[in-house]
């Protein structure tokens, strides 16, 4: 079976965030990653740790429109990936940062 496939990459600031979902679900803690363009009127990047933002991302249920706090940020390149097979196959998973990408095997 083929390994992960990289579909897209972008040299954009990204942040790990903690947020309370708009649908009443369990809070997201240190959710990795949300790119700067997925924040509502974020201002200039990078944002300081502890900055409060509103999410426009739709990675998880209840994320869009949720209030969040920037836990930490990175300037690494980010990738959207497909991970076929295994216990948790993913298509167009957003996002994986450069330091999280390693050769398969």
Cis peptide before 40 (omega within 30 of 0): no
In a domain, 45, yes or no: yes
Q: What is the pTM of this model?
A: 0.84
Tell me, yes or no, whether 105 lies in a domain: no
Structural domain that includes position 59: 5-100
Domain containing 24 — which CATH number? 2.30.30.1210
pLDDT tens for residues 60-89? Answer: 999 999 999 999 999 988 888 888 888 889
Looking at the 3D structure of the chain, how many domains does it have? 1
Strands 28-35 and 14-19 come out as antiparallel
């Amino acid at each position: 079976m083929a390994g992960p496939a990289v579909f897209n990459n972008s040299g954009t600031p990204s942040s790990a965030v903690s947020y309370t979902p708009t649908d009443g679900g369990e809070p997201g803690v240190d959710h990795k990653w949300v790119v700067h363009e997925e924040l509502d009127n974020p201002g200039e990047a990078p944002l300081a740790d502890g900055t409060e933002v509103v999410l426009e991302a739709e990675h998880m249920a209840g994320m869009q429109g949720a209030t969040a706090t920037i836990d930490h940020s990175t300037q690494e390149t980010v990738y959207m990936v497909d991970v076929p097979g295994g216990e948790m196959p993913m298509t167009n998973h957003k996002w994986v940062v450069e330091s999280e990408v390693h050769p398969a095997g």
